[in-house]
Amino acid sequence: MHIIETEFPDFGLTPEQRREAVLGHYYEIPGMDGARGEIWCYTDAYAYPPGATVNLHVSATASRYRLEIVRDGATETPVLSQDGLAAAWQDTPDQCSVIGCGWSVSHAFRISEDWPSGAYRITLTAEGRDGNPVTCHHVFIVRPLAGRKPGRVLQVAATGTWTAYNTWGGSNHYQGITGPGRNQYAPMVSTERPFCRGFAVLPENAPRVPLEIYTPPAAPPRYPHMEWAYANGYSKKYASAGWASYDSHFFRWAERAGYAVDLASQHELHFTPEILDGYDCVVFVGHDEYWTWEMRDAVDAYVENGGRAARFAGNFMWQTRLEDDGKKQVCYKYRARAEDPVYQSEDKRRTSGCWEAEETGRPAARTFGLNALRGLYVGWGGCAPRGVRGFPVYRPEHWAFAGTGIYYGDLLGADGHAFGYEVDGLDYVIRGGLPEPTEDSGAPEGLEILALGMSSLKEESADIPADDQFLSDADAKFVAETLVGNQSDEAVNRIKRGSGMIVNFPRGRGEVFHAGSCEWVAALKRGDAMVERVTSNVLDRYLSR
């Protein structure tokens, strides 16, 4: 049984530093390490086919560095090491987060034809100005070649969300140094920059977003993941996105469990959707928040034509657009109606706001059965901080729960904390002790709600001073505006209660299973036997094993 701690670690921070860790804007920029020296890198794409050449862009205070690459699967497999590579310091534009770093290619290497599909972690090591080593990490994907892949799973990495949360250079889709006051989030962000620290690799003990520490009632919220990040020089968004916090845990678990898994990026869904056609089962995991219209087209067509999609992920919320051959991602988000030029055009459907917006006309549930606006926050801040850590089960007889020994009313995944951070749900009613989607929920025909937990769209501020609120009520007001048409107190009260669900439904000749929580992968990481069994049941059914 997982033990919940009652004492918050302080990570050596003062109260002022803890506050800066949560509410401040800190990020990695060239020159930040000063006299110590530094090295940074990025690749010219997120994913490559076997045999492709990877162009590596490096900026360093040292003149030479060592390159090491490992495949980051069930076991770490070294595939390439090179010493004495030439480096130089490269100037970086102030708005590199938006327009890209523009560094020249420092080194190129070829992906061998025998490198299996998967994630490959780059480590660069150089000598710092003080004689001690300086390092940086990056990750790229070797995607599979087209063709039939019987018995194999295709996992699609949430690279749209990686791009949205990457803080390197100062701006992402959340905070930034753009706008007249240099204090706005960026509606356009570039892939041509390093990943912020924590996206490619993390120590085992790095805290996750949902609290593992019991917060006494009426106590001010604490955010251990951001406090740890501030104390240890990591991005405050390391726990919100990236290979290390999310996608890697499913990939490693699946390989350890004996599944043959290939990996692709969301950019393949957008530009080469036929990559899905070779697979009986396609999987999406973790924090999977940002999608283009074309990515959804790819999944919808795949399922309609007989594919099986399994989504062990949460927060299906924002429509993005890709520009410059996918090197720039556009999402105006909360400012879409005011600033996105597409909203002013004749065809507003591609406005880069949330999927539930009236102008988009494409509710999220049409693809994965659930949506973010009826879900959102669990287990942190003032949003269900002491709520259940697993999914309360309503339909234990469903095939997904075979062999788990689970009963009606039991919690699925509580030991591994599978239910948390951000979740997806639907509006629902309870009849005869069982949840059903409401008629106006947008649920696809035949959808069954298998499990259901409570979430919140706002921090209930009666017990939490405004100065201590990180989540506050901004999202609740946005959701009220989107779903009700205004931000009045009455509208906010109508939508402020959400849910996270596990659902299953047929579509065309295919089928979708959706466990709507970012933290499902955390339960796999922690070895939660019930969650492992349900995951295997889904994969085995969809692979016809």
- Cα–Cα distance, 372 to 181 (Å, whole number): 31
Tokens 């657009």 found at: 321
DSSP string, 81-127: EEEEEE-------TTHHHH---PPP-EEEEPPTTSPSEEEEEEEEEE
Average pLDDT score over the chain: 96
Helices H / strands E in the chain, number of each: 13, 25
Q: Is 514 left (phi over 0), alpha (psi -120 to 50) or beta?
A: beta
Band (347; pLDDT cuts 50, 70, 90): very high
Portion of the chain with pLDDT greater than 90, in percent:
92
Please classify residue 484 by burial: count the beta carbons closer than 10 Å to its beta carbon, then call 0-12 exposed, 13-18 middle and 19+ buried: middle
State residue 289's pLDDT score: 98
Q: Is the Cα torsion angle 433, 439, 441, 444 positive or negative in sign?
A: positive
State residue 114's pLDDT score: 96
Query: How distant, in Å, are the alpha carbons of 53, 110, 121, 279 from that of 113?
Result: 11, 9, 17, 21
Q: Contact 71/98 with Cβ under 8 angstroms?
A: no
- Cα–Cα distance, 365 to 117 (Å, whole number): 30
| pLDDT tens-digit readout, 55-66 | 999 999 999 999
State residue 9's pLDDT score: 85
**pLDDT surpasses 70 at 4:** no
State residue 357's pLDDT score: 98
**pLDDT surpasses 90 at 471:** no
Q: Contact 482/354 with Cβ under 8 angstroms?
A: yes
**pLDDT surpasses 90 at 545:** no
Q: Contact 456/473 with Cβ under 8 angstroms?
A: no
Average pLDDT over residues 13-37: 93
3-state helix, strand, coil in the chain (%, to 5): 25, 30, 45
- The two tokens of residue 11 are 């990570």
Query: Taking Cα atoms as reference points, which of 48, 495, 471 lies closest to residue 240?
Result: 471
Band (431; pLDDT cuts 50, 70, 90): very high
Average pLDDT over residues 81-106: 98
Instruction: Provide the 10 A C-beta neighbour count for residue 353.
Output: 25
Q: Contact 326/270 with Cβ under 8 angstroms?
A: yes
- The two tokens of residue 226 are 């951001």
Do β-strands 318-323 and 290-292 pair in parallel, antiparallel, or remain unpaired? parallel
Q: What is the pTM of this model?
A: 0.97
State residue 462's pLDDT score: 66
Q: Is the Cα torsion angle 144, 502, 205, 226 positive or negative in sign?
A: positive
Average pLDDT over residues 28-41: 93
User: Which amino acid is it at 128?
Assistant: G
State residue 2's pLDDT score: 55
**pLDDT surpasses 60 at 311:** yes
State residue 382's pLDDT score: 87
Helix axes 248-256, 529-542, angle to 10 degrees: 80
State residue 68's pLDDT score: 98
Q: Is the Cα torsion angle 136, 527, 513, 316 positive or negative in sign?
A: negative
Band (77; pLDDT cuts 50, 70, 90): very high
141: helix, strand or coil:
strand
Query: How distant, in Å, are the alpha carbons of 11, 209, 228, 295 from that of 231?
Result: 6, 16, 5, 37
State residue 464's pLDDT score: 73
Q: Contact 16/10 with Cβ under 8 angstroms?
A: no
Q: How far apart are the first and last CA of the chain?
A: 31
Query: Taking Cα atoms as reference points, which of 375, 420, 379 lies closest to residue 221?
Result: 379
Average pLDDT over residues 258-264: 98
Band (371; pLDDT cuts 50, 70, 90): very high
Q: How distant is the alpha carbon of residue 485 from its chain centre?
A: 28
- Cα–Cα distance, 263 to 272 (Å, whole number): 14
Q: Contact 423/375 with Cβ under 8 angstroms?
A: yes
**pLDDT surpasses 60 at 432:** yes
SS (H, E, C) 229-251: HHHHCCCCCCCCCCHHHHHHHHH
| pLDDT tens-digit readout, 103-143 | 999 999 999 999 999 999 999 999 999 999 999 999 999 99
